[in-house]
Amino acid sequence: MPTQSNRIITTFERLTAQGRTALIPYIMAGDPSLAETETFVLALDRAGADLIELGVPFSDPIADGPIIQKAAERALQSGTSLIRIIDMVRQLRTRTSIPIILMAYYNTILAIGEEIFCREAVAAGIDGVIVPDMPPEEATILDSAAQRHGLIVIFLLAPTSTNARRRTVIARTRGFIYYVSLTGITGAQLDNLTEVQQNVRQLRRAARKPVAVGFGIATPEQARIVGQFADGVIIGSALVRLIADEQSPLPPVERLAQFTKHLKAALQP
Amino acid sequence: MAPYPNKRGRFGIYGGMYVPETLMPAIQELERAYTAARRDPEFQREFRTCLAQYVGRPTPLYFAKRLTKTLGGPKIYLKREDLCHTGAHKINNTIGQALLTRRMRKHRVIAETGAGQHGVAVATVAAMFGLKAEIYMGTEDMERQALNVFRMRLLGATVTGVDAGSRTLKDAISEAMRDWTTNVRTTHYLLGSVLGAHPYPMMIRDFQSVIGREARRQILAAEGRLPDCLIACVGGGSNSIGLFYPFLRDPTVAMIGVEAGGFGIASGKHAARFAGGRPGVLHGTMTYLLQNDHGQVSSTHSVSAGLDYPAVGPEHSFYHDLGRIQYTAVTDEEALAAFDLLAREEGIIPALESAHAVAELVKVAPSMNKRDIVIVNLSGRGDKDVQQIARMRGIPL
């Protein structure tokens, strides 16, 4: 059974046993180039990331705020495509075994075809996929292809999700549940952590699956607070902004490593 | 009526609900609210009353005598949606959705606009129903349609420029969806065409099909028979499906949807989805989409902002594949020539969007019989385009 050996599942099992929270950085693949993304992934791994989410650039990212939109534009300008990202992960797999999850809008997957995508992704060493514009209602084709090949499809829940939807996602998602901390887009201001805490606590009780929280978590302090009640903390826009920061005297890979170490320290039990 | 879409919002393989989880509950709420409203005689009565008293319906079906003579082909009738309040068919839909917004107890509406006609129609009903309105518009379109920007602001709406991507309709929709994702609890997204996730394509078609129901009645009264051909321009495709829908079951009625050919299909600078696209997913729906090999959405070009969009309504994709509706494209140049022709032959300045339908008529008329009857949907008036045309011709105003 391919799913049983999936790195996402084994990683969460190990972390849960150790009583630790997963640190899940998100970066945009190909921003500013795929070669640099490779070094970023290795740096994130060394700095203490537990899983890595790689954004697949799309021309019309409706779930993303301006920071990730601009990163996607840069990545597309550098010639990034889903196929090339898969090839890059294949290269990376000789040097790291950290779980890698793609965040891809549905049309980029459709362009390859669901079946070929799942087969190639798994062959290259990709462990899971998140499709922000594919709710469970529209996931039948991708989900069955993914199951055949042992790719994990991670679904999202939001503060607006109804109980019925929550039950659906709990039943359908594997690996972990991606809980969207705020009603909004990536990189938005996250104000009410108490509400997030209540929702995640409820969800974890009902789900009996790991719950990782993302959207708007920008500082080690926020990561620390969310880490107290979530199984994983996803940090995207803050890292993407750091990579693009032209004011900093440090090279991007060092900025990334430094910030990730701060996040890691904040998540220590 | 045709049984499409099915319960999952599908027209064959097209349509569906490809939206982020945050929006799914709102989409489902909208579906429930609309399903109930559709069956509610009180809602339908109020909708009809607004269309009659506020929009000015029914709009005339005008026999274009001189144009008929000039083209020397079929008898030409124009469905005069340009005579609707605000100057285009867009208001049929905004009235319907404003009534629905009130039913859902939401107080703010957001919308995208390309040519500005939908934005004006939203700003108008927002004023009429006492709703707050924010309209997203690509900055390139704001330049092309400065007059409509001013009209929206006069009507009390906020117009927000979108500077991302191609700075046209596609980017305005993306930005409106982001706003909706953020403010979904209080806000209704008043989408302007038969695009987006289910139930939008169905609901907007229903609201717009008043065009075809009237035209059917009017042509039967005028000619005692059904028309041989219907012609309408297709951006998202709301005016065309509005005209076509009530005739879909009449096998003798041919239908032509006219896309924006821009500088010509071969140039790659156009918005002809059926000529240059393939099925994909954008803005919540699966449909024909202009895209590259990697699924990145292409930039489009049309002289007409309202047709300048890389995807088409999913129901059109369905009827395209079935062969029930024929799709074709005319270039900017052909549309501009038709714009002049209609102004001079009939004293009607059409919207550049509608001029595409007239241009197709000019092309097909010679091959048709003199006894044939054609209805062209004149979806909007051209006042909004006058400045742009003057600029293009180097005439200072």
pLDDT per residue as tens digits for the range A173-188: 999 999 999 999 999 9
Report chain B residues whose CB lies below 8 A from the CB of A81.
294
Work out the percent of chain A whose per-residue pLDDT is above 70.
99
Give the model's pLDDT for residue A38.
98
Structural domain count, chain A: 1
Q: How many C-beta atoms lie closer than 10 Å to residue A204's C-beta?
A: 17
Give the model's pLDDT for residue A1.
39
The tokens for A170 are 């709990």
Sequence letter at residue A73: E
CB-based contacts of A251, cutoff 8 Å, min separation 6: none
Put simply, the answer to whether A110 touches B20 (Cβ < 8 Å) is no
- The chain A residue lying nearest B25, using CA atoms, is A161
Judge whether A232 and A24 are in contact, CB under 8 Å.
Answer: yes
Judge whether B25 and A160 are in contact, CB under 8 Å.
Answer: yes
List the single residue in A106, A111, A160 with the smallest CB-CB distance to B293: A111
Residue A3 pLDDT more than 60? no
Substitution target in A80, A85, A133 with the highest count of B β-carbons within 10 Å is A133
Indicate if A53 belongs to the active site. yes
The answer as to whether A175 is a domain residue is yes
- The chain A residue lying nearest B286, using CA atoms, is A107
Residue B2 pLDDT more than 60? no
Give the model's pLDDT for residue A216.
94
How far B215 CA lies from chain A's nearest CA (Å)? 37
How far A160 CA lies from chain B's nearest CA (Å)? 6
Predicted TM-score (pTM) of this structure: 0.96
A188-194, long-range: CB < 8 A, 24+ apart: A188/A65, A188/A215, A188/A216, A188/B182, A189/A216, A190/A215, A190/A216, A190/A217, A190/A218, A190/A222, A193/A222, A193/A225, A193/A226
Roughly how many angstroms between the first and final C-alpha of chain B, as a whole number?
A: 49
Judge whether B262 and B270 are in contact, CB under 8 Å.
Answer: yes
Report chain B residues whose CB lies below 8 A from the CB of A111.
280, 291, 293-295
Give the model's pLDDT for residue B397.
84
Runs of H (alpha helix) within chain B: 24-39, 41-50, 65-71, 90-103, 117-129, 139-144, 146-154, 169-183, 200-208, 210-223, 238-244, 273-276, 314-322, 332-346, 352-364, 386-392
Residue A142 pLDDT more than 90? yes
The tokens for B60 are 């005339």
Query: What confidence tens digit (pLDDT) does each residue in B232-284 have?
Result: 999 999 999 999 999 999 999 999 999 999 999 999 999 999 999 999 999 99
Sequence letter at residue B26: A
Work out the percent of chain A whose per-residue pLDDT is above 90.
96
Euclidean distance between CA atoms B215 and B219, whole angstroms: 6
Catalytic-labelled residue, pool A31, A36, A50, A64:
A64
Catalytic-labelled residue, pool A36, A50, A53, A231:
A53
How far A170 CA lies from chain B's nearest CA (Å)? 13
Euclidean distance between CA atoms A218 and A100, whole angstroms: 21
Q: In what order do the strands lie in the sheet with B254-262?
A: B61-63, B75-80, B373-378, B229-233, B254-262, B326-331
Euclidean distance between CA atoms A44 and A39, whole angstroms: 9
Report chain A residues whose CB lies below 8 A from the CB of B284.
133
The answer as to whether A61 is a domain residue is yes
Q: How many C-beta atoms lie closer than 10 Å to residue B53's C-beta?
A: 10
| Residue B149: strand, helix, or coil | helix
Put simply, the answer to whether A83 touches B283 (Cβ < 8 Å) is no
**CA torsion sign, B94 to B95 to B99 to B102?**
positive
Report the pLDDT averaged over residues B59-71: 98
Among residues 294-313 of chain B, which lie with CB inside 8 Å of chain A? 294-297
Query: What confidence tens digit (pLDDT) does each residue in A221-237 have?
Result: 999 999 999 999 999 99
Put simply, the answer to whether A184 touches B182 (Cβ < 8 Å) is yes
List the single residue in A76, A138, A165 with the smallest CB-CB distance to B16: A138
The residues with which B108 forms a beta bridge, in sequence order, are: B132, B187
CB-based contacts of B356, cutoff 8 Å, min separation 6: B233, B258, B259, B260, B304, B307, B330, B334, B335, B338
For all residues of chain B together, what is the average pLDDT?
Answer: 96
Its ipTM equals: 0.95
For all residues of chain A together, what is the average pLDDT?
Answer: 96
Whether residue B5 has a cis bond before it, omega within 30° of 0 = yes
- DSSP symbol at B350: B
Residue A63 pLDDT more than 70? yes
- The chain B residue lying nearest A178, using CA atoms, is B21
Contact with chain B for residue A246, Cβ under 8 A: no
Query: Could you tell me the residue range of the domain that residue A138 belongs to?
Result: 7-263
Query: What confidence tens digit (pLDDT) does each residue in B117-169 have?
Result: 999 999 999 999 999 999 999 998 898 788 899 999 999 999 999 998 888 88
Judge whether A145 and B29 are in contact, CB under 8 Å.
Answer: no
The answer as to whether A2 is a domain residue is no
User: How would you class A232 by CB atoms within 10 Å of its CB: exposed for 0-12, middle for 13-18, buried for 19 or more?
Assistant: buried
| Residue A138: strand, helix, or coil | helix
Report chain A residues whose CB lies below 8 A from the CB of B110.
none
Judge whether B228 and B259 are in contact, CB under 8 Å.
Answer: no
Please provide the DSSP assignment of A195-214 as one string.
HHHHHHHHHHHHH-S-EEEE
Known catalytic residues of B?
A: 90, 112, 379
The answer as to whether A19 is a domain residue is yes
**CA torsion sign, B34 to B39 to B44 to B45?**
negative
Euclidean distance between CA atoms B82 and B342, whole angstroms: 13
Query: What confidence tens digit (pLDDT) does each residue in A79-136 have?
Result: 999 999 999 999 999 999 999 999 999 999 999 999 999 999 999 999 999 999 999 9
Domain holding A159: CATH number? Answer: 3.20.20.70
The answer as to whether A1 is a domain residue is no
Runs of H (alpha helix) within chain A: 7-18, 34-46, 66-77, 82-92, 106-112, 114-124, 140-149, 163-172, 193-207, 220-227, 237-244, 252-266
| Residue A188: strand, helix, or coil | coil
Count of CB pairs separated by less than 8 Å, A with B:
115
The answer as to whether A269 is a domain residue is no
The answer as to whether A268 is a domain residue is no
The answer as to whether A34 is a domain residue is yes
